[in-house]
Amino acid sequence: MNSADVCILIPTLNEAATIGQLIKEFRKEGFSNILVIDGNSRDSTGEIAEAEGARVVMQTGRGKGQAMIQAFGLLECPYIVLVDGDGTYLARDAPSLLEPILEGRADHVIGNRLENYSPGAFTKLNLVGNRLINMLFDLAYGVHLKDILSGYRAFTLQSVRELELNKTGFEIETEISVECVLKEQRVEEVPITYLPRNEKGATKLNPVKDGLRIGSTIYILAKVHNPMFYFGMIGSFFVLSGLLTGTFVVIQWFQGITRVPLSILTTLLIIFGLQMFIFGMLSDLIVTLHKQTIRLIQEKK
Ligand SMILES: Nc1nc2c(ncn2[C@@H]2O[C@H](COP(=O)(O)OP(=O)(O)OP(=O)(O)O)[C@@H](O)[C@H]2O)c(=O)[nH]1
Ligand SMILES: [Mg+2]
């Protein structure tokens, strides 16, 4: 591998405590093409990164996602390693992330943090949240990935250019993972070491708020890929609500009380819920036919 062909991309926001050491470590591993996309840090992150020989670009908008989308547009080198600037990942894991790509087996490699993390690297909430999000992803897209939210990834320039990305915040990793599945890219996961955050650098992520945003991103993006799941969830909610009110109506009826308005509500809830399932089936058909058409067009090209 020629390490000049690899660009190390680091999004940062107030990471002065760790960025210098991280760049040093990547240089030690032989990577000299380092791009830091900085969110106008109020500490000396940018200055430190420049002093260590990285190219520093200030992001024009806000959020980790916006920074990454902007940086992807600047990249020219054939291979990219994306890594957080908070010192939680090790530069020496980069070659094993790149290996499946260089051997031509994968377009996108995810560093899996969940097999080999240091004590304290995840809070209990983060660990449970990560597992739930990976399960939801599996359910919605039928692809079993262990760590879709990882901040350490490698990809080919071509695979990055295929991705259609719009999320500006911490939903960006989710959107990348979804897009990889939609674009039928070959994704591989490689175990990596995950360290606790440096005490001096504060997290920018709010586990509850960002966790909910990530969960809803997985769900909303499933509308196009797996409509049966999307509409089925809404349908299940209404049918279950209908069954609940219906059970109450029946119990009361046996006790000699007739609940007319609640009976009407029950009927409406169940009919609406079932309609959602029919909607899901029709949308599923449309998606399948659309995929077949696209495949035919591609074969003809
Ligand atoms: N350019 C840019 N970088 C950001 C922004 N928000 C976060 N980052 C960087 O993105 C990386 C990941 O952010 P973290 O706060 O570590 O989020 P996380 O790794 O998901 O969460 P923790 O487990 O708490 O570390 C870090 O290098 C941050 O400095 C932003 O708005 N702009
Ligand atoms: Mg982090």
CATH number of domain containing 175? 3.90.550.10
User: Nearest Cα to 28, choosing from 95, 78, 106, 127?
Assistant: 95
- CA torsion sign for 99, 105, 107, 112 is negative
Would you place residue 295 in the very low, low, confident or very high pLDDT band (cuts 50, 70, 90)?
Answer: confident
Residue 70 has what pLDDT? 97
Residue 139 and residue 30 share a domain: yes
Task: Say if ligand 1 is within 6 A of residue 68 CB.
Answer: no
Residue to mutate, 15, 41, 86, ligand 1, most ligand atoms under 8 Å from C-beta: 86
Would you place residue 198 in the very low, low, confident or very high pLDDT band (cuts 50, 70, 90)?
Answer: confident
Structure tokens at 242: 């209908």
Total number of domains constituting the chain: 2
Q: Tell me if residue 194 falls in helix, strand or coil.
A: strand
DSSP 84-112: -SSS-S-GGGHHHHHHHHHTTS-SEEEEE
- Strands of the sheet containing 6-12, edge to edge, are 55-58, 34-38, 6-12, 79-82, 153-156, 108-112, 187-191
Last residue of a domain, one of 222, 238, 260: 222
Residue 86 and residue 22 share a domain: yes
Residue 237 and residue 209 share a domain: no
Task: Say if ligand 1 is within 6 A of residue 211 CB.
Answer: no
Residue 205 and residue 90 share a domain: yes
Scanning the structure block, which residue is given the tokens 């074969």? 299
Task: Say if ligand 1 is within 6 A of residue 37 CB.
Answer: yes
Residue 60 and residue 153 share a domain: yes
pLDDT tens-place string over residues 32-85? 999 999 999 999 999 999 999 999 999 999 999 999 999 999 999 999 999 999
DSSP 12-36: ESS-TTTHHHHHHHHHHTT---EEE
Residue to mutate, 22, 26, 64, 81, ligand 1, most ligand atoms under 8 Å from C-beta: 64
Last residue of a domain, one of 169, 199, 222: 222
Residue 109 and residue 17 share a domain: yes
Residue 111 and residue 86 share a domain: yes
Residue 234 and residue 94 share a domain: no
Strand partners, 153: 82, 110
Last residue of a domain, one of 204, 222, 240: 222
> What range defines the domain where residue 235 resides?
227-300
